[in-house]
Structure 1
Amino acid sequence: MKTASRLVAAGLVLTVLACAPPPDRQEVEFRVPVTVREVETGDVEDRVIATGTLRTPETISLRADTAGALRVARAANGRRLAEGDSVEAGQLLAEITGEEVRLAAAADARQQRLAAARRDYETKKALFDEGLISAEALRPFETALADAQLEWERSQLTQNRSRLVTPISGVVLRLARDEQNRPLADGQLVVQGAELAQVAPTRSLVADVDLIGQDLAKVRERLEARVRHSAWGDTRFEGTVIRLAPSLDPMTRTLRAEVAVENPGGELRPGMFVEVTIISERRTDVPVVPREAVTERGGRKVVFVLEGQKVTRRDVALGLGDDDVVEIRQGVQPGERVVVRGIETLQDDQRVRVSGA
């Protein structure tokens, strides 16, 4: 009997448990983790980036005006001048020896004749001033003085023909080489007209840049430019667009732009390949967001703006930008926060969890 009662009681308990409603299940809400950044104001640029080749703006070629034996000049420390040395305007680079004795003697003789002609003229001029001789009597002495002056000046020019003096300050690009580019030693004979030196200024260089496509419409003269070379890391050299070619190259269909580059320290060298960034337009104090904050939905550029614990999708109008930031002309205001990470699957009015700001 007791066993039967226990069985009945157990059955009642099971029946009650079976009929009881299930315990409440706590729903877990999933929030997309995102990182946000505040919309800031900053400066943005439209840039044309191309590769250029550096060259000197001008090169002075010095040639032998007379034949003779070569002697390269010495620097202040007594060392023979060499390619790569810096020189100042008026500095002697080389001399052509062999006729210097004859030329010096001829110059001395003409100087003596000039002195004698000047004394004779001054004597006759004094007599003329006193009215003792006529103008006709003075005229031959005037002519003799003028002729002596001209002969002396010519002798000086002839004597200077044996000296190679640079008319500009710069760097020696080429010095004492023959037509096969072999170096010439002091004492070797050179012929008249042989090129003995090339000098060029290097404190300001020119980068030749070839433009293509849409860049042709962006670049114009006097635009600011920046030049860099991998050897100098992030160091930037300031420049300016100084000239655009009047027509395209018929072979490459590119337009040549010349950019003057400041090189006060001489780090850059002619012949280097450099990266040239031309600033075609700049805007200052405009709303900007990181480039990764902008995505495309339905063919429109949009950003997701954080509002409380949700995000709102907004269409935006973009302006200038680079690889890092982009200008927002319409759609958001400075101070608002936009999603920069976790944007891939976001939807409008979706709840999010901010994991970084």
Structure 2
Amino acid sequence: MSVSTHHMKLMTVILSSALLAAGCGGPKTGQPANASVDAASKVVRAANVQKITWEEQAALAGEVTPFLELDVTSKVGGDVTRVLKKRGDLVTKDETILEIEKIDMNREKEKVHAALVSATEQLDKARKDLADSKKEIDLSIAKADLSLAELERDYAKLRNQYDEGLIEKNQLRSMETRLEQARLDLELLHDKKRTLETSNPLSQGEYQLRTAQLSLEEWQRSMTYYDIKSPISGVLTYMPMEEGMTLQPGLQVGKVQQQDKVKIKAQLTEAYWQAAQGQEKMSFVQPGTGEAFEGKVIYLSSTADPQTKTFELQLGAENPEGRLKPGTRVQLNLTQSAAAPSMAVPIETVVEENGGSFVYIVKEEHVEKRQVVTGRVKNKLQEIVSGLDGSERIVTQGQMRLKDGERVTVAEQ
């Protein structure tokens, strides 16, 4: 036998032995392929399903407006002599913005002052005349009292003489007439005194003086109109006036906005209007800068606009540094709590697979892979809309290496 033939026979024997050895070492018929896998359970961590109340936030467009905006108008006409403020300047309440020519008003002042002096002098004279009249009447009454007393004594004497037959009756009657006349004169003087005391002889003079005083007050008030002032503190956003221009009464000469405090105005649908009920404060954000602010609810309409079917909301916000510019838009965050709590699990416990969402539930010593429907996410919690009843314990660690039905051991947290 040749060497090559002997080599080939040897290789055939070795190959047959290898195949036989492989057949003897393989699994027996009907034995599972994973029979060699370690039967020990996998260690996991688990937690109960949570129930929380979710808050819904709606981002609504709002507009920044001045908290207060007032027009500055001219109450009188005339030529502008000085312009003290220009558009964009900060102004304080009652600060003069521009001045109007006052020559005619200064002339009017002389007339008003002269009328006031004349009325004052006339009233002083009337008061002196009244005092003299009262004094004169008092003296006349005193003299009349004395004369009446003397006549009464004389009458008493004549009456005695008449009774004694010493004088004629006509003499007694003559004395009686004089006595009655004296009494009437005294009564007339008392009537005049009462008239002076109950009437006001100075009313005409007092009326003229008061009229002159009112004219002066009117002049003083009108004089203030010639210095046009800011009605509030803020920013002068409109000011077209220049020196030499002629103003007409009622002409708008400026506009002032209060900007250290602003309003945020928004229009709410009925659903958002319901959510805003009872809220005292709301937050909002500047879209450009992302800066967050908070405003106090100062107005919430109780009825909807008949055309837009929306409700107006107004917030008041402090703006001392002027970061909120009137006319810009902000994003207002309206928070609404859900009607009832819903279930939630840590977001990392949810396994996404083939387009579905699953969690592993611990059941005694095994796990169940259960499909769920997810909802909102907040603070690393995932809302579970359906698939759980809230009594389950969810695998929170080790779920990525689990399969449905596997044996597990729950480790202590």
Name the TM tier (shorter chain): 0.5 to 0.7
C-alpha displacement at 1:104, in angstroms? 1.8
Q: 2:285 aligns with which of 228, 233, 236?
A: 228
Q: What's 1:86 paired with? A: 90
Residue identity opposite 1:82 in structure 2: K
Q: What's 1:181 paired with? A: none
Q: What's 2:390 paired with? A: 331
Structure 2 residue ranges without an equivalent (≥5): 1-5, 28-32, 136-195
C-alpha displacement at 1:281, in angstroms? 4.2
Secondary structure of 2:76's aligned partner: coil
C-alpha displacement at 1:191, in angstroms? 2.7
Contact map agreement 2:94 2:230 (CA 8 A) in 1: yes
Q: What's 2:228 paired with? A: 164
Matches within 5 A, 1:200-215: 200-212=257-269, 214-215=271-272
Q: What's 2:203 paired with? A: 139
Matches within 5 A, 1:254-333: 254-265=309-320, 266-281=322-337, 331=390
| Partner deviation per Cα, 1:30-55 (whole Å, 9 max, x = no partner) | x99x9999989999633332112222
Structure 1 residue ranges without an equivalent (≥5): 75-80, 177-183
Cα 1:136–1:244 change in 2 (3 A) is closer
Contact map agreement 1:229 1:273 (CA 8 A) in 2: yes
| Partner deviation per Cα, 1:64-105 (whole Å, 9 max, x = no partner) | 22322224543xxxxxx22232222222122222xx122023
Cα 1:350–1:27 change in 2 (3 A) is closer
Residue identity opposite 2:287 in structure 1: S
In the superposition, the TM-score normalised over structure 2's length comes to 0.58
Cα 1:17–1:278 change in 2 (3 A) is closer
In 2: Cα distance, 1:161 partner to 1:227 partner: 42
In 1: Cα distance, 2:59 partner to 2:91 partner: 35
In 2: Cα distance, 1:340 partner to 1:209 partner: 46
- Greater share of residues in helix: 2
Secondary structure of 1:20's aligned partner: helix
2:77 is aligned with 1:20:
no
Q: What's 2:150 paired with? A: none
C-alpha displacement at 1:56, in angstroms? 2.4
Q: What's 1:62 paired with? A: 72
C-alpha displacement at 1:271, in angstroms? 0.9
Bigger Rg, structure 1 or 2: 2
- Greater share of residues in strand: 1
Contact map agreement 2:268 2:313 (CA 8 A) in 1: no
Q: 2:217 aligns with which of 153, 175, 196?
A: 153
In 1: Cα distance, 2:294 partner to 2:396 partner: 36
Cα 1:309–1:267 change in 2 (3 A) is farther
Segment of structure 1 superposing worse, 13-22 or 256-265: 13-22
Secondary structure of 1:210's aligned partner: strand
Aligned-residue sequence identity (percent) comes to 17
Q: What's 1:78 paired with? A: none
C-alpha displacement at 1:195, in angstroms? 0.8
Contact map agreement 1:313 1:349 (CA 8 A) in 2: no
Residue identity opposite 2:209 in structure 1: L
The size of the alignment, in residue pairs, is 323
